[in-house]
Amino acid sequence: MKRALARIATDWSNTEPLIKERDALLKRQQELSAFSVVLEKDLKKGMVWSKKLAAFSSLVPKEIWLMEISFYRQEPQASLGVVAAASYLSSDDELLAKINNFIERIQGDNDFFRDFQGLQLLEINKVGSREDHVMVFKFRISLKPNT
């Protein structure tokens, strides 16, 4: 009986990591499947992300650089998240004005913004030393529900 229990314990200790890995893979499959559905909807409706991102890139002034672009697929509304930084200006007021102009430029570009329905500035943080004049900011652009 002890041998049988020892064999079962050994089998379980060998199997447990495989079960955890399987569960993680199944969870990832579900996530990717949901993401695939959102992308498929977008592709069927005619939004070409490469063109959309190229248009977005043309809106970025030289004093601002993009650090991260993310696609959020939360239902019922997906969105594009952006983290950027502004620098090369002499004062905080100039940096804030440049960020504001950039956001207004995005919202004012009808060709780019037609598939979106709102831009939300999430945060602005000053980083580095006083001489650096760098501000990192985050914003999210919501896709229209039927896009």
Q: How confident is the model at residue 139 (pLDDT cuts 50, 70, 90)?
A: very high
What's the pLDDT score for residue 72?
Answer: 81
Number of domains in the chain: 2
If asked whether residues 40 and 65 sit together in one domain, one would say no
If asked whether residues 31 and 11 sit together in one domain, one would say yes
129 or 144, which is more confident?
144
Average pLDDT over residues 31-37: 71
Residue-number span of the structural domain to which 37 is assigned: 1-44
Quote the percentage of the chain above a pLDDT of 90.
Answer: 24
If asked whether residues 62 and 94 sit together in one domain, one would say yes
The CATH number of the domain holding residue 56 is 3.30.980.50
What's the pLDDT score for residue 40?
Answer: 67
| CA atoms of 131 and 88, how far apart (whole Å) | 10
DSSP helix, strand, coil percent of the chain (3-state; round to 5): 50, 25, 25
Average pLDDT over residues 114-134: 82
If asked whether residues 137 and 76 sit together in one domain, one would say yes
Q: Is the peptide bond before 76 cis (omega within 30 degrees of 0)?
A: yes
145 or 120, which is more confident?
120
Q: What is the pLDDT of residues 40-60, one digit of tens each?
A: 665 555 567 788 888 999 999
If asked whether residues 71 and 138 sit together in one domain, one would say yes
Q: What is the pLDDT of residues 90-113, one digit of tens each?
A: 677 888 889 999 999 999 998 888
If asked whether residues 92 and 39 sit together in one domain, one would say no
If asked whether residues 30 and 63 sit together in one domain, one would say no
